[in-house]
């Protein structure tokens, strides 16, 4: 448990010495793993690299999620738990899952606000998504959060902190009041020791917290920075305080935002570092451990900032890292643009079919897609779903129409998965993450084939041929062909590679 006595003492101490402004410390952990379940079976394959564990989710649970949950670290930090990871954890390690969820409830009971943030559902780079997909990602993320935590989310973590104004405006429209960005995402230099207001459309606005970049980088990437929590609090933290604010008695915040997995997985035993820092190191050296919504309540943002958009925390070329490719990853990254083109063309075709055919039974297929997650996951009854979204406010009489609508909604679900950012993050195409995005796209193709008998596989394979690995020279179409075999009636017949070549086709014709 958090040592409240000590924390309150340090506040009282500062209040009797008004010349020393209070210093707050917030540690935000972004807890997330790329989904790697086979979309046809729902099972995580054995991952030899994770030995002695069956897969990396198990390994990271043992090294990070479990110890941090059992040591009570989630109760004091700010955190987001990716929906796809939360689902796996809930099924596989319900005790760990419950502790993480309860941490937010305890924080709320104690401070009146939660400390968990929602996440856009599929870790999609939202500035690269269509408006409609942005909305679905946000609505699904919020719906998932509300189901798990039992209250609406007020903060949302954006995948890779990738942002544009439309994304922020949609967040604001759905009741989100704050998010976290890197300081270089501001158009002008900012003071990261305070939150800012970003003005949006139609009078809306959102608060952004800029994390402390040198400290977040040090905690993430430098081994020595996190070797001793007392030393960290005594020497690293004070260097980042704004002295003029200290002297003027003004409050300030040091926000350290990182991937959550570094606490124990990327860096062994850093769960202990975190635990000691929040319970002893920070309070002993005059820092009040705080969370973001709580800080906003104490000291609301007053100054406005303009953002550099689109931008993200791990690319210095806008969001090119996940789009056309850029120098942030080594080698020839042009495969990224080709893969994105193939996935986008598939999604456009899938969307047309969804609108046309699901529109026969649903009054507004896109609103129904936004509302699909609860019924899919059994949090809402099918009767209630059809009452809200069905053309006749009830399921169609023909069970085949019900089945077809369900398959088309499920195709949309996997289409969303196919844009998981991890597929574009790394240097090469011939890796597990791009393979997974292709596998999710294949699942969408399969569902459309089963629903309508329409073959989207052939054109997708033609488009995938353009994306090539600079390491192994395999194309994305080769990766598609290497995916696990499925029952023959689940996919259109696979064309011969020769027939995918346009020139050859013309010759044959
Ligand atoms: Zn870049």
Read out DSSP for 222-252?
Answer: -TGGGS-HHHIIIIIHHHTS-HHHHHTT--E
- On the question of pLDDT at 14 being above 70, the answer is no
pLDDT, tens digit (0-9, with 9 covering 90-100), for 65-76: 999 999 999 999
**Spatial CA neighbour of 285 closest among 71, 73, 7, 29:** 7
CB neighbours (10 Å) of residue 379?
13
Ligand 1 centroid–CA 329 distance in Å is 7
Ligand 1 centroid–CA 136 distance in Å is 26
Residue positions counted in the chain:
509
Can you give the pLDDT at residue 65?
A: 97
**Spatial CA neighbour of 358 closest among 287, 465, 447, 253:** 447
Can you give the pLDDT at residue 221?
A: 87
The angle subtended at Cα 345 by Cα 339 and Cα 346, nearest 5°, is 90
Ligand 1 centroid–CA 277 distance in Å is 33
The helix (H) or strand (E) run that includes residue 298 is helix 292-298
Phi, psi of 366 (to 5 degrees): -75, -35
Ligand 1 centroid–CA 322 distance in Å is 8
For the chain, give the mean pLDDT. Answer: 93
Can you give the pLDDT at residue 201?
A: 98
Question: Which residues does 299 contact at the CB level (< 8 Å), separation at least 6?
Answer: 194, 195, 251, 253
Classify residue 162 by its DSSP letter: -
Cα–Cα distance, 65 to 31 (Å, whole number): 9
Q: Give percent of the chain with pLDDT exceeding 90.
A: 90
Ligand 1 centroid–CA 320 distance in Å is 5
Ligand 1 centroid–CA 471 distance in Å is 20
Strands 205-210 and 196-199: antiparallel
Structure tokens at 239: 């260097």
Strands 287-289 and 23-31: parallel
Are 409 and 447 within 8 A, CB to CB? no
Ligand 1 centroid–CA 160 distance in Å is 12
Can you give the pLDDT at residue 505?
A: 47
Greater pLDDT, 15 or 43: 43
**C-alpha distances out from residue 26 to 82, 190, 272, 491, 504, Å:** 20, 18, 17, 49, 60
Ligand 1 centroid–CA 164 distance in Å is 16
Classify residue 75 by its DSSP letter: G
Ligand 1 centroid–CA 324 distance in Å is 10
The helix (H) or strand (E) run that includes residue 346 is helix 335-353
Are 36 and 436 within 8 A, CB to CB? yes
Ligand 1 centroid–CA 223 distance in Å is 25
Overall average pLDDT of the 385-396 stretch: 97
pLDDT, tens digit (0-9, with 9 covering 90-100), for 444-503: 999 999 999 999 999 999 999 999 999 999 999 999 999 999 999 999 999 877 666 554
SS3 content of the chain, % helix, strand, coil (to 5): 55, 10, 35
Can you give the pLDDT at residue 219?
A: 85
Can you give the pLDDT at residue 225?
A: 87
Can you give the pLDDT at residue 501?
A: 58
Q: Which residues are 80's β-sheet partners? A: 30, 117
Ligand 1 centroid–CA 426 distance in Å is 11
Are 248 and 18 within 8 A, CB to CB? no
Are 155 and 28 within 8 A, CB to CB? no
Cα–Cα distance, 412 to 112 (Å, whole number): 37
pLDDT, tens digit (0-9, with 9 covering 90-100), for 303-325: 999 999 999 999 999 999 999 99
Ligand 1 centroid–CA 88 distance in Å is 31
Residue 54: which pLDDT band, with cuts at 50, 70 and 90?
very high
Can you give the pLDDT at residue 499?
A: 63
Q: Give percent of the chain with pLDDT exceeding 70.
A: 94
Ligand 1 centroid–CA 346 distance in Å is 25
Cis peptide before 310 (omega within 30 of 0): yes
């Amino acid at each position: 448990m958090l040592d409240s006595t000590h924390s309150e003492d340090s506040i009282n101490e500062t209040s009797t010495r008004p010349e020393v402004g209070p210093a707050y410390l917030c540690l935000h952990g972004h807890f997330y793993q790329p989904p790697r379940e086979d979309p046809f079976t729902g099972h995580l394959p054995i991952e030899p690299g994770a030995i002695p564990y069956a897969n990396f989710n198990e390994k990271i649970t043992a090294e990070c999620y479990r110890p941090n949950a059992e040591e009570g670290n989630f109760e004091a930090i700010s955190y987001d738990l990716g929906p796809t990871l939360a689902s796996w954890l809930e099924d596989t390690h319900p005790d760990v899952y419950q502790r993480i969820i309860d941490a937010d409830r305890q924080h709320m009971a104690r401070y009146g606000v939660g400390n968990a943030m929602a996440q856009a559902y599929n870790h999609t780079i939202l500035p690269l998504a269509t408006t409609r997909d942005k909305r679905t990602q946000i609505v699904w993320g919020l719906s998932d959060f509300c189901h798990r935590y039992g209250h609406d989310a007020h903060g949302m973590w954006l995948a890779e902190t990738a942002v544009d104004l439309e994304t922020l405006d949609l967040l604001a429209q759905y009741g989100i009041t704050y998010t976290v960005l890197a300081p270089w995402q501001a158009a002008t230099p900012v003071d990261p020791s305070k939150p800012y207001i970003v003005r949006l459309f139609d009078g809306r606005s959102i608060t952004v917290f800029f994390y402390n970049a040198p400290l977040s980088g040090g905690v993430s990437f430098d081994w020595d920075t996190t070797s001793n929590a007392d030393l960290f609090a005594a020497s690293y933290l004070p260097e980042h305080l704004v002295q003029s604010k200290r002297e003027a008695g003004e409050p300030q915040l040091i926000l350290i935002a990182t991937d959550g997995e570094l606490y124990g997985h990327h860096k062994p035993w850093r769960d202990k570092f975190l635990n000691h820092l929040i319970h002893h190191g920070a309070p002993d050296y005059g820092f009040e451990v705080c969370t973001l919504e709580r800080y906003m309540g104490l000291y609301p943002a007053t100054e406005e900032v303009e953002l550099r958009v689109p931008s993200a925390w791990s690319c210095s070329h806008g969001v090119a890292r996940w789009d056309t490719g850029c120098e942030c990853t080594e080698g020839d990254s042009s495969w990224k643009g080709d893969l994105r083109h193939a996935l986008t063309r598939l999604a456009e075709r899938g969307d047309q079919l969804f609108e046309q055919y699901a529109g026969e039974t649903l009054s507004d297929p896109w609103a129904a897609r936004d509302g699909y997650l609860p019924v899919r996951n059994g949090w809402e009854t099918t009767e209630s779903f059809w009452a809200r979204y069905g053309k006749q406010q009830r399921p169609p009489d023909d069970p085949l129409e019900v089945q077809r609508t369900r398959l088309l909604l499920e195709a949309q679900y996997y289409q969303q998965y196919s844009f998981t950012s991890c597929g574009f993050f790394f240097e090469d195409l011939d890796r597990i993450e791009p393979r997974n995005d292709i596998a999710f796209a294949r699942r969408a193709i399969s569902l459309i084939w089963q629903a309508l008998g329409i073959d989207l596989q052939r054109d997708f394979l033609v488009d995938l041929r353009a994306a090539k690995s600079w390491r192994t020279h395999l194309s994305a179409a080769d990766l598609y062909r290497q995916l696990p075999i499925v029952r023959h009636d689940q996919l259109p017949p696979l064309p011969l590679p020769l027939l995918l070549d346009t020139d050859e086709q013309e010759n044959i014709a």
